[in-house]
């Protein structure tokens, strides 16, 4: 079955338990839940809805992650970055290898896009191939 060219989803889905690594928890009993909203055809990116209750914890990023806070807020800090409260509508990018301390004061819900990073040469080659495809093989819109 071919992959649909357009996928849709909604942030109001049933979230399943997604426990935080116990050794990362600094304070409290944060309970995280999540659901996958979409995955790219090549598996290199995934969109997830994630929520968490009150607590403090470390988070270590092994992929690039871009988030948009959908509900609630969290105070996030990292080396070289003082603690800052982020709330509804804020967008944050955590690059592969980042470490952050999260303090969820009450509740937070985010939409996250995880993207596997490619080695530099592979990334350059992919961009080149995509540019050639767009230049020479772009579909033309025909209007009646």
pLDDT per position as a tens digit, 120-132:
666 666 666 667 7
Q: Of the CATH numbers 3.90.550.10, 1.20.1730.10, 2.60.120.10, 1.10.1420.10, which one belongs to the domain with range 16-118?
A: 2.60.120.10
How far is Cα 6 from Cα 144, in angstroms, rounded to an integer? 24
How far is Cα 13 from Cα 51, in angstroms, rounded to an integer? 11
- pTM for this one? 0.78
Other beta carbons within 10 Å of 16 = 9
Q: What is the pLDDT of residues 43-101, one digit of tens each?
A: 888 999 999 999 999 999 999 999 999 999 999 999 988 999 999 999 999 999 999 99
Residues pairing with 45 in the sheet? 115
């Amino acid at each position: 079955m071919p992959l649909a060219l357009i996928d849709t989803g909604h942030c109001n889905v049933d979230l399943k338990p997604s426990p935080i690594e116990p050794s990362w928890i600094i304070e409290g009993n944060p309970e995280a839940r999540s659901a996958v909203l979409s995955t790219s055809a090549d598996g290199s990116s995934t969109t997830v809805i994630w929520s968490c209750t009150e607590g403090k914890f470390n988070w270590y990023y092994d992929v690039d992650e871009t988030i948009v806070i959908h509900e609630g807020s969290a105070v996030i800090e990292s080396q070289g970055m003082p603690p800052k409260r982020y709330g509804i509508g804020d967008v944050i990018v955590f690059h592969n290898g980042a470490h952050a301390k999260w303090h969820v004061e009450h509740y937070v819900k985010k939409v996250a896009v995880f993207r596997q990073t490619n080695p530099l040469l592979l990334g350059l080659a992919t961009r080149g191939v995509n540019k050639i495809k767009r230049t020479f093989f772009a579909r033309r819109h025909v209007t009646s």
